[in-house]
Structure 1
Amino acid sequence: MTKSLPEILKNQPVVVDGAMATELEKHDIDTDNDLWSAMALIEQPEAIYDVHKSYFDAGAQVAITNTYQANIDAFVKAGVPADDAQKMITNAVEIAKRARDDAWTALTPAEQAAKGGFFAAGSVGPYGAFLANGAEYTGDYNLSVDELKDFHRSRMQLLANSGVDLFAFETQPQFKEAQSLANLLESEFPQQSAWISFSIRDSKTLCDGTSLAKAVSYFNDHDQIIAIGVNCTAMTNITAAIQTIKAVTDKPIIVYPNTGETYDPKTKTWQSQEEEASFEQLTPAWLKAGARMIGGCCRTTPKDIHDIADVLTNTK
């Protein structure tokens, strides 16, 4: 019998998956457009299964659905009818769940007992991702709380109705937007849980200028938020960010950095930079600092997730 994610986190750290778009590009899927990795839902959905499965095989316990950039408005903007867009978002969940279940049943009973469970987290990217101009790294947009909730509601309904295990409110650059998502979660999805991972300017500051400590501590009394942290920032920012978060919350801390490359929103490409250390080298420090869920974001690969899983397995 599988355990819930909060139950598992009480006893052991959990491995989250890695980049979706990076792996889809290896399947010759063009992500150089406003839909980004969601283009695969139109062109080659089975490739999404292959990516999810490769991460489970590498040691991940959580698959994040390919819905970060997939919302009704984005699909309609790209010429996809709204009804078809809804089916694609639903399909994204079904694909992740199939990979989750196939990977789980392939384990021996002893392996299942050690892992505790596999999960499909429904990705809910920020409004800035829909803008497709890099705003998830700046927070440079100004919608009201009601406008933000209206934007996110339809995707969350589709994700929940399709059976995600929890939501992933990820790469959130705005404190206000994170608050809006938590409010929407509590008022309209009382049976669901979520993690929140912020997009940060530095180890103490959200992209919109809000103190990371202030943003994190706000959610201490929100029981449906089961983990909180940061994602899609350079690996070298992570230890200090964990320390900032750990000082103001007892919730499990989630981190899944990118490889340190810089995103150019004009060319829709990543600019390489030399990274001083690897996931294998830095994961022990993140564990020591207090991280409980660790994975990878943009430009990471199954090998990176395998390296994280190796470290976590050897430190249990």
Structure 2
Amino acid sequence: MSSLLSEFLEKSGGVAIVDGGLATELERYGADLNDPLWSAKCLVTSPHLVRQATIQGFKAKGLSEEESEALIKKSVEIACEARDLYYKKCDKKDIDDSKIPKHRPIFIAASVGSYGAYLADGSEYSGDYGNAGTLDFLKEFHRRRVQILAESGADLIAFETTPNKIEAQAYAELLHEEDVKIPAWFTFNSKDGENVVSGDSMLECASVAEASDKVVAVGINCTPPRFIEGLILSIKKVTTKPIIVYPNSGETYDPVIKEWVQNTGVPDEDFVSYVKHWWKAGASIFGGCCRTTPKTISGIYNTLSERSVSSGETNN
């Protein structure tokens, strides 16, 4: 499985870019995400907009299990359709060459958020699940969604915003118990630049990912940009896998009103200024999480392209 991502990185000049804050864009297009389903609400109300969620979350909204599972599958289908449309544009020969996008390989990553994201109480930013935070419970909570996504047509599974070590262990065991045929990456979130948000050691959490041959990358997401460089250096101590980083803007999420409330985030220009430091520290996959924009991702691309030129590498 590791060869899949290694070959992808080799073809892309040693670096790759992931997308930015989808929920931020959904809100910009008028979606009201003040809802326990968050951005997955759009799979029900605006399926042309979109992101996957939990089966349990959809059922809590009154959908049947069959309908809930169908929406999980649909989230991946929509992403694959978007990729196909991009490839068709790349293949067009009847328009001005300047309007034809450069054909680049695209992977579809099926997102699996934490149990805390389903609770919609902000516990994905604390990792405190109370009595529910047992290995067996978390495995059963995630099991069916992982099964569906593994067969959905996605290229890999992205286990994101993982707030504690036990949930990472649950993911790792599920990947092997279900004999998942596509690779995965694990990313964790931190609020102090040393540990994951629960207080568990980042080194121990990254080691869980390192120990699984199903996991092809490990890193950090939904974490303030100022902490990323130090966390990369820490993770490098325990992993040989590619390191992926997609921080948030640095703002603070209020779980009560379900909004980002402190307008103290890092501007796109300043966010992008960190990128070369992250690359030099050892990261090879870059993107943005909550409150980042298409401008952020464009800036990351331009920065990494400049790096490639200055170092004599080819960035595809």
TM-score, structure 1 normalization: 0.88
1:5 corresponds to 2:5: yes
Structural mapping, 1:146-161, within 5 Å: 146-161=136-151
Structure 1 unmatched runs, 5+: 49-65
Distance 2:194 2:49 in 1: 37
Aligned partner letter, 1:265? P
Between stretches 31-40 and 83-92, larger displacement belongs to: 83-92
Q: 2:134 aligns with which of 144, 151, 157?
A: 144
Tell me what 2:97 maps to: none
- 1:17 alignment partner in structure 2: 19
Structure 2 residue 296 is matched with structure 1 residue 304: yes
The answer as to 2:98 corresponding to 1:106 is no
Q: CA deviation at 1:145?
A: 1.4
One-letter amino acid of the structure 2 residue matched with residue 99 of structure 1: A
CA deviation string 1:199-218 (max 9, x = no partner): 21322201121111122123
Is 1:280 aligned to 2:263, yes or no? no
The total of aligned residue pairs comes to 292
Alignment of 1:64-75 (within 5 A): 66-67=51-52, 70-75=53-58
Equivalent in 33, 41, 45 of residue 47 of structure 2: 45
Secondary structure at 2:8 match in 1:
helix
Match of 1:236 among 221, 226, 232: 226
| 1:7 maps to amino acid | E
In structure 2, what is the equivalent of residue 313 of structure 1? 305
* In 2, Cα distance between equivalents of 1:105 and 1:243: 40
Aligned counterparts of 1:110 and 1:42: Cα–Cα separation in 2:
31
In the TM superposition, residue 118 of structure 1 has moved relative to its aligned partner by 0.5
| CA gap 1:246/1:105 in 2 versus in 1, 3 angstroms | farther
**Which of residues 171, 195, 198 in structure 1 aligns to 2:185?**
195
Aligned equivalent of 2:62: 79
Matched, 1:127 2:115: yes
Pair 1:247-2:237 in alignment? yes
Q: Which amino acid aligns with 1:175?
A: K
Deviation string, structure 1 residues 102-152 (Cα, Å, up to 9, x no partner): 22343369944xx4x201101000000011011001001043212111111
Q: 2:73 is matched with which residue: 81, 90, 97? A: 90
* SS, match of residue 300 in structure 1: coil
What is the alpha-carbon root mean square deviation over aligned residues? Answer: 1.8
CA drift of 1:190 comes to 3.5
What is the CA–CA distance in structure 2 between the aligned matches of 1:179 and 1:86, rounded to whole Å?
24
Aligned residue for 2:108, secondary structure, equals strand
Say if 2:197 is the partner of 1:207: yes
Identity %: 43
* Structure with greater Cα Rg: 2
Offset of residue 80 of structure 1: 2.0
**Residue number in structure 2 paired with 1:186:** 176
Higher mean C-alpha displacement, 155-164 vs 31-40: 155-164
Match of 2:30 among 12, 23, 28: 28
Is 1:227 the counterpart of 2:227? The answer is no
Secondary structure (helix, strand or coil) at the match of 2:233 reads: helix
Asked if the contact 2:168/2:208 (under 8 Å) is kept, the reply is: no
**What is the CA deviation profile of residues 179-234 of structure 1, one whole-angstrom value per residue up to 9, with x for unaligned ones?**
11011011213312100000213222011211111221233231111000010011
| CA shift digits 1:31-85 (9 cap, x unpaired) | 001000001001111123xxxxxxxxxxxxxxxxx22xx1111111122222211
TM-score between the two structures when normalised by the length of structure 2:
0.88
- Tell me which amino acid in the other structure corresponds to 1:6: S
Is the contact between residue 210 and residue 218 of structure 2 (CA under 8 Å) also seen in structure 1?
A: no
Task: Return closer, same or farther for 1:274/1:178 CA change in 2, 3 Å cut-off.
Answer: closer
